[in-house]
Amino acid sequence: MSDAPAEPNRRSRREARATSESPIAPDVFDGLVDRGGDAATRPFDASDRRRDAVEADRPRTPATARSEAVAPRERIASGFVGTWKPLAAAAGALVIAVAVGSLASVAFDGATGRSVGSVLAAFLLGATGMSLMVRTRLAGFFSLRGLDVLWALVAGAVLPFITGVFASNLGFPALAALSPRWLLLGVVAPFVVVLGLTFFAIAFVYPAAETFAATYLSPVWSRVVAGAVSAVAFAIVPLVFSGTVSGMPRALLIGLGIAASVFVALSRRVWGPVLMSMVFTAVWVAMSVAGYVLA
């Protein structure tokens, strides 16, 4: 008997057994599924989990931060800072302060009237500067460094003697008497006037002028122009009220304004010039009291 007819049967049985024992092969067309389709209609796989993890780890910029990054430029372009409006407000405050001080000085005669008028004018200017300097401040304008304190102490102590060369009595006239009236006008009034002018001209006018000038000039020239504008704003009250503030000569106040303007232009910080003005006035008052005692 021939075995030839049995060959196909044995081969077919071996193929059927191999097919039943082997795992089902994955469909090769599964890899060709369009992964760019709608996420709701396609099945979830491991690549989706990895993609979600990458999206979660990617840093995102909040909408508020993006709006804040654009906001300063919009304020400078169309708001109060960087325009002529702060300088116009400063000019208006100067006119009002001088008018009020002049009316007050009419009620008194001599040095007393000039002292009262200058105190009222400087008080109004100082209030204006303190209320608006926050809006016109520069970056880091209210910070304070140790070097600023050192320069303020040294310059405030030396500057009265340097500017006194251009004034009579070397800038230290003796007080007429140590009465309550002269202690008020000769001690308190100089501090009020000097601090008021410093907060107005240095803390408000200078940053406003520099920000406005920076839109047309280079950074160096904008500082030069702003320093000149602040020095003029500082000197207006002493020039109008006969150059005397409770006996302080005109040269001392003008020199202090120039020095404070240079100080703030170089450092671009305000507390150094403020401290220098306080030391300057304290030295002048101490020397005036000493002049009365030694007279």
Q: What pLDDT, on a 0 to 100 scale, did the predictor assign at position 101? A: 87
In tens, the pLDDT along 189-215 reads: 889 999 999 999 999 999 999 999 999
Mean pLDDT within 181-185 = 70
Report the predicted TM-score, pTM, of the whole model to 2 decimal places. 0.68
Residue 153 in this model has a pLDDT that exceeds 80: yes
- pLDDT category at 177 given cuts 50, 70, 90 is low
Q: What pLDDT, on a 0 to 100 scale, did the predictor assign at position 35? A: 47
Q: What pLDDT, on a 0 to 100 scale, did the predictor assign at position 78? A: 44
| 257, 137 contact by CB (below 8 A) | no
Provide the percentage of residues in the chain whose pLDDT is more than 70. Answer: 62
Provide the percentage of residues in the chain whose pLDDT is more than 90. Answer: 34
- One-letter amino acid at 97 equals A
In tens, the pLDDT along 69-108 reads: 443 433 444 467 778 888 999 999 999 999 998 888 777 7
CB-count exposure of residue 191 (10 Å: 0-12, 13-18, 19+): middle
Q: What pLDDT, on a 0 to 100 scale, did the predictor assign at position 18? A: 56
Q: Which residues, at least 6 apart from 108, have a Cβ–Cβ distance to it below 8 Å?
A: 116
Closest CA relative to residue 173, chosen from 191, 194, 190: 190
Closest CA relative to residue 210, chosen from 122, 127, 87: 87
Residue 50 in this model has a pLDDT that exceeds 70: no
Closest CA relative to residue 254, chosen from 167, 125, 150, 124: 167
User: What residues does each domain of the chain span?
Assistant: 82-294
- What would the two tokens of residue 226 be? 């702003």
Dihedral angle sign, alpha carbons of residues 122, 123, 127, 130: positive
